[in-house]
Amino acid sequence: MILITGGLGFIGTHTARALLDLGESVVLVQRRAPEVPAALAGEAEGRLVVEQADLGDRAALLDLGDRHKITGIVHLAGSVPWPPGAYAPVEGVEKSVVSLLNVFQAATEWQVSRLCLASTIGVYGGVEAPSPLAEDLPLTMAASHPIPTFKKVGELMAGHLAGATGLEVVNLRIGAIWGPLGHPRSPFFALPQLVHAAVRGTAPDLTSPAWGAYTGDGGDLCYVKDCGRAVALLQTAERLRHRTYNVATGRMTTNGEVTAAIRRAVPGADVELREGRDPAGTGRDTYLDITRLREDTGFEPAYDTETGVADYVEWLRAGHDR
């Protein structure tokens, strides 16, 4: 069985669905009281198990291995002291580091075949190379946001522990993910606000993100069902040749493409944006090179902007808008 931390979260749910579709069995661990989403309901007994545990509690985590035969781990649970102010500074860092170390301890004791760790496209911040950004680019030591800061720390720790323990550890540098179960507002890109507002019949509130809400802005926007499938393929691949993989579409998607897709899915939607690019931005296209992912797993995105928006709109109209 493959254990997914944060298994009932946004990316976790879709990763679980993809693993189940590949014939795997999964154990989903969540800190809060679990509620199985409809996308995972109805699985045969034993293929889907949901457990409640705090990753900061090593004994509780290790106890899962006594009840289930865990063969692999996908660590997606929040390893960043986020949101701001949720913890005192030292306490937040301690929780982040202890949770990651506990996952490594569990992986070692259970002798799992592979441990996949969620990282982020944000680690490329400050890299001056043109897109597509490849995994072997040297990263800067600095980061302007807590998420890439802690993901860089996690990648460094993972590299050390992989060498020290002999575990196969794979870093997943995940792009900008959107779609069902995602938050209706993102501080990083405009797409969720635009789609939710269109379905509600309201004007989008683009005060967050405070930048990047122009037609020419955008990024590597990956539909969550594609993201979940990519993670599942990396976890189950017979052989991986690299320690780090970009998980994304491998292309730049502009807000102009997004608004055009929304207008086709929701005729008359109020999704007018300012033309051009945000003068406060970098003026650069940012997207990831997914050659490694393609070559080692055969992954290709199943959703483009138009089909992803249409699927998301259908899901929201079915009563999931929040």
Range of lowest pLDDT (89-93, 223-227, 230-234): 89-93
What pLDDT sits at residue 240?
Answer: 98
Which architecture, in CATH terms, is 178-220+250-286+303-320? Alpha-Beta Complex (3.90)
Three-state DSSP class for residue 226: helix
Give the pLDDT confidence of 198-208 residue by residue, as tens digits. Answer: 999 999 988 87
One-letter amino acid for residue 294 of the chain? R
Say if CB 127 and CB 133 are below 8 A apart: yes
Q: What tokens does 284 get?
A: 């650069």
- Model pTM score: 0.95
Q: Are strands 218-219 and 2-5 parallel, antiparallel or unpaired?
A: unpaired
* 81 pLDDT above the threshold of 70: no
First to last CA, the chain: 33
SS3 sequence of 234-297: HHHCCCCCCCEEEECCCCCEEHHHHHHHHHHHCCCCCCCCECCCCCCCCCCCCCECCHHHHHHH
Q: How remote is the C-alpha of 284 from its chain's centroid? A: 23
Give the pLDDT confidence of 158-191 residue by residue, as tens digits. Answer: 999 999 999 999 999 999 999 999 999 998 999 9
The CATH number of domain 2-176+222-247 is 3.40.50.720 = yes
pLDDT band at 107 (very low <50, low <70, confident <90, very high): very high
Closest CA to 58 of 118, 8, 15, 100: 100
* 320 pLDDT above the threshold of 70: yes
Ordered by start, the domain boundaries in the chain are 2-176+222-247, 178-220+250-286+303-320
What pLDDT sits at residue 292?
Answer: 98
Q: Rounded to whole angstroms, how far apart are CA atoms 223 and 243?
A: 23
What mean pLDDT, rounded, does the chain reach?
Answer: 93
Q: What tokens does 50 get?
A: 């949901």
Better-predicted residue by pLDDT, 283 or 274: 274
